[in-house]
């Protein structure tokens, strides 16, 4: 019987036939696809014809289609709807994939062919995109150790495989800690909580088979609990559990993993001739060097810390008024910040939230994309991997562009956070393929029959992830290697963070922020309050983020620490982190950095991109029209459709006419002097 994962799918737009795929299909499909890919690669390496762009670079680009199809399904499901079987498969697949990649880059005959094409590049009459693809491929092989010999090459292979195993263990430990913990609430513990928090706690209890409401470690539940619960003891219990993920001792403790990961990354960098992993990693990013990253972060750190310390002083006065003769603690900050927001801006999230219905915000998200880029969304009725997921066909100028899948609600089988990924990326070679993109979020699921309501932060997350999706769906390149979000890490967040700005356009809120019960539009006075409070608590938000970015940089810049937790404490002491604020992601649950290589030495990239996104949206503000068609067309041409086909600084300059400074970011965050 033919394995469904290895066939051509006769489904609408080639969407995976999820209703026909079982966990038992993955291992044999993986084995077959892995072997097929290796056979294709060896045929390229052993080709007796002289190396050319077509028979080497394009041949590699065309190889591995079956493996891409299998892994596109598997890894999306492993993150969004994990099972014990999928976790076991992931532990098996990850080191084997790492070994597979190492075998390819260690194939000297293959590398010699790539190098020959690279050295002859000026004589080959290549397009700009082909030149870029060749450069990236050659660089990728060199940075993976293709030029190493003997013991160094063997050690590089061992390091790569071990890092893959450790990243999987880190992720699965975190998922187990998040799934295992819950705090039961008695009826009296619900006092002071708005209805939407009570509903979410009851729904979480029902999902877990508990006798009553519970608080879990899902961000969509624990954050509003910390915002609204007047019970300081319960806030402390919840906060300590949330921040202890990955550091609870026993089998799921990630602290030893982080130390080993940092040591292996440093060894890898030194094998390749770099002083540190940060030097190695940042060489290919826009920032270029650890010094440039640190300069940016410190330009933002000082004004943010001053603002946070001023806010902490106000918070202490509020606590004294409540009879608490104590400094604010981390489990107090969100509670008193919420009280202060209501006091200073007359803005209560419990009153705001009914206007931010998930379905209406999805409609707003699509409407902004239609006004900017001429795309429309049409619901698709197709089998998906989970009942909560839904799909749309995305059209541009009436023609099929992509399939978009939204998977929005938190559940125990889904890892925390929010992300965008693709079941299939856009390309025109070796044949045209349109993207199938998924946004995964962790919003609180409402009780049956009730609309899902978002916090303002949730709504921003929705727009953020759809910005990534637009980058994938509007991609218009030839080669998959440079498609969509295949760009420098500190450029990839530009489209996502930029798209958040359209949520804050007053006319968007006027049209789509309608009350869940009455259907009435958000009152103009409330919209004004939302706009005025846009930078509320920005000292806290900036400090917790920059602290995490500085710790990440310190871990990777220089000799790796034997005790990462001690080094974390040293860095936070050196920069003067206010005692009532902690890192956004403490080391044992810093998945951005330790679940894989993506954001390692690169967590700063959100802020690097924010410098550009603040400046980019300022261009629309200067025009006096958030939907200016000429600017939108330039944004699509030079950023969203170009993928990684050109240098990111070149792309941004083509859109804006220049590179930005940090001033627009500080102004946008309300931190300018």
Going along the chain from its start, the domains and CATH numbers come out as: 4-175 (1.10.1370.40), 181-245 (no CATH), 251-347+537-603 (1.10.1370.10), 354-532 (1.10.1370.40)
pLDDT-derived band at 673, boundaries 50, 70, 90: low
pLDDT digits (tens, 9 = 90+) for 417-427: 999 999 999 99
Q: For residue 3, what pLDDT is reported?
A: 97
Q: How far is CA 120 from CA 41, 127, 619, in A?
A: 21, 14, 41
- The percent of residues above 90 in pLDDT, for the chain, comes to 97
Structure token pair of residue 512? 């789509």
Cβ contacts of residue 387 below 8 Å, gap of 6+? none
Told to judge if 465 belongs to the known catalytic residues of this protein, a careful annotator would answer yes
> Residues 392-410: what's their mean pLDDT?
97
Structure token pair of residue 146? 């293709």
Q: Which of 353, 627, 357 is nearest to 512 (CA)?
A: 357
Cβ contacts of residue 83 below 8 Å, gap of 6+? 23, 413
Residues 243, 211: contact at Cβ < 8 Å?
no
Is it the case that residue 108 has pLDDT exceeding 70?
yes
> Residues 606-622: what's their mean pLDDT?
96
| DSSP assignment string, 138-203 | HHHHHHTTTT--HHHHHHHHHHHHHHHHHHHHHHHHHHHHHHH-EEE--GGGGTT--HHHHHHHHH
> Residues 144-171: what's their mean pLDDT?
97
Cα separation, 218 vs 514, whole angstroms: 26
> Residues 370-381: what's their mean pLDDT?
98
> DSSP strand E in 282-415: where?
375-380, 390-396, 399-409
Report the chain's C-alpha Rg in angstroms.
Answer: 25
Residues 169, 95: contact at Cβ < 8 Å?
no
Give the single-character DSSP code of 427: B
Cα separation, 270 vs 282, whole angstroms: 14
This prediction has a pTM of 0.95
Is it the case that residue 325 has pLDDT exceeding 80?
yes
The chain-wide mean pLDDT, for the chain, equals 96
Within 10 angstroms of residue 22's Cβ, the number of other Cβ atoms is 10
Evaluate the CA torsion angle 294, 299, 303, 304 in order and state its sign: negative
Is it the case that residue 406 has pLDDT exceeding 90?
yes
Is it the case that residue 1 has pLDDT exceeding 90?
no
> Residues 359-379: what's their mean pLDDT?
98
- The percent of residues above 70 in pLDDT, for the chain, comes to 100
Provide the phi-psi class of 259: left if phi over 0, else alpha when psi is between -120 and 50, else beta: alpha
Cα separation, 294 vs 302, whole angstroms: 12
Active-site residue, selected from the candidate residues 465, 500, 544, 610? 465
Element at 127 (helix H, strand E): none
> Residues 283-289: what's their mean pLDDT?
97
> Residues 410-415: what's their mean pLDDT?
91
Give the single-character DSSP code of 523: P
Cα separation, 60 vs 41, whole angstroms: 7
Is it the case that residue 651 has pLDDT exceeding 70?
yes
Q: How far is CA 201 from CA 206, 221, 270, 274, 604, in A?
A: 9, 7, 49, 50, 34
Structure token pair of residue 81? 């709807």
Is it the case that residue 93 has pLDDT exceeding 90?
yes
pLDDT-derived band at 349, boundaries 50, 70, 90: confident
Residues 98, 438: contact at Cβ < 8 Å?
no
* Cα atoms in the Cβ-side hemisphere of radius 13 Å centred on 467: 24
Cα separation, 2 vs 25, whole angstroms: 10
Structure token pair of residue 642? 């170009």
């Amino acid at each position: 019987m033919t394995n469904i994962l290895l066939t051509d799918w006769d489904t609408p737009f080639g969407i995976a036939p999820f209703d026909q795929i079982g966990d038992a299909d993955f291992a044999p499909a993986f084995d077959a696809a892995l072997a097929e890919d290796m056979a294709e690669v060896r045929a390229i390496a052993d080709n007796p014809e002289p190396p050319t762009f077509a028979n080497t670079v394009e041949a590699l680009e065309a190889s591995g289609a079956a493996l891409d199809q299998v892994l596109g399904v598997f890894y999306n499901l492993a993150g969004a709807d994990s099972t014990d079987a999928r976790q076991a498969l992931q532990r098996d697949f990850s080191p084997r994939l790492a070994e597979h990649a190492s075998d390819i880059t260690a194939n000297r005959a293959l590398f010699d062919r790539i190098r020959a094409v690279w050295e002859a590049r000026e004589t080959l009459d290549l397009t700009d995109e082909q030149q870029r693809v060749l450069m990236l491929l050659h660089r990728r092989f060199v940075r993976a150790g293709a030029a190493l010999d003997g013991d160094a090459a063997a050690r590089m292979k061992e390091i790569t495989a071990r890092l893959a195993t450790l990243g999987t263990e880190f992720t699965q430990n975190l998922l187990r800690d998040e799934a295992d913990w819950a705090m039961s609430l008695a009826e009296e513990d619900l006092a002071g909580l708005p209805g939407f928090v009570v509903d979410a706690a009851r729904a979480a209890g029902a999902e877990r088979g508990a006798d009553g409401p519970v608080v879990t470690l899902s961000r969509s539940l624990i954050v509003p609990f910390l915002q609204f619960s007047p019970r300081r003891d319960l806030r402390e219990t919840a906060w300590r559990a949330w921040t202890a993920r990955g550091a609870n001792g026993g089998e799921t403790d990630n602290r030893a993993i982080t130390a080993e990961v940092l040591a292996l990354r440093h060894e890898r960098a030194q094998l390749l001739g770099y002083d540190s992993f940060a030097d190695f990693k940042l060489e290919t990013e826009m920032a270029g060097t650890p010094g440039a990253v640190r300069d940016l972060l410190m330009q933002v750190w000082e004004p943010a810390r001053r603002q946070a310390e001023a806010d902490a002083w106000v918070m202490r006065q509020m606590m004294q008024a409540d009879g608490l003769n104590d400094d604010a603690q981390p489990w107090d900050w969100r509670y008193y910040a919420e009280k202060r927001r209501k006091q200073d801006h007359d803005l209560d999230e419990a009153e705001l939230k009914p206007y931010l219905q998930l379905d209406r915000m999805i409609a707003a998200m699509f409407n902004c994309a239609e006004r900017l880029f001429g795309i429309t969304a049409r619901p698709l009725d197709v089998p998906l991997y989970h009942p909560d997921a839904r799909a749309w066909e995305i059209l541009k100028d009436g023609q099929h562009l992509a399939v978009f899948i939204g998977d929005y609600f938190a559940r125990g089988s889904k890892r925390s956070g929010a992300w965008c990924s693709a079941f299939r990326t856009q390309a025109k070679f070796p044949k045209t393929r349109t993207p199938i993109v998924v946004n995964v979020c962790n919003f609180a699921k409402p009780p049956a029959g009730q609309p899902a309501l978002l916090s303002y932060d949730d709504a921003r997350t929705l727009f953020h992830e759809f910005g990534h999706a637009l980058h994938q769906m509007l991609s218009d390149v030839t080669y998959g290697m440079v498609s969509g979000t295949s760009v420098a890490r500190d450029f990839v967040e530009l489209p996502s963070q930029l798209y958040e700005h359209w949520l804050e356009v007053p006319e968007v809120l006027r049209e789509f922020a309608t009350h869940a019960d009455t259907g009435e539009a958000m009152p103009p006075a409330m919209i004004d309050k939302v706009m005025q409070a846009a930078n509320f608590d920005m000292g806290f938000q900036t400090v917790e983020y920059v602290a995490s970015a500085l710790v990440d940089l310190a871990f990777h810049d220089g000799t790796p620490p034997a005790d990462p937790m001690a080094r974390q404490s040293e860095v936070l002491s050196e920069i003067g982190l206010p005692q009532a604020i902690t890192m956004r992601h403490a080391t044992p649950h810093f998945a951005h950095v330790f679940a894989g290589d993506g954001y390692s030495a690169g967590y700063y990239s959100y802020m690097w991109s924010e410098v550009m996104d603040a400046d980019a949206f300022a261009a629309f503000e200067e025009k006096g029209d958030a939907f200016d068609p000429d600017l939108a067309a330039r944004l699509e041409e030079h950023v969203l459709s170009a993928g990684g086909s050109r240098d990111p600084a070149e792309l941004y300059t083509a859109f804006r006419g220049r590179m930005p400074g940090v001033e627009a970011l500080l102004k946008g965050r309300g931190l300018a002097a």
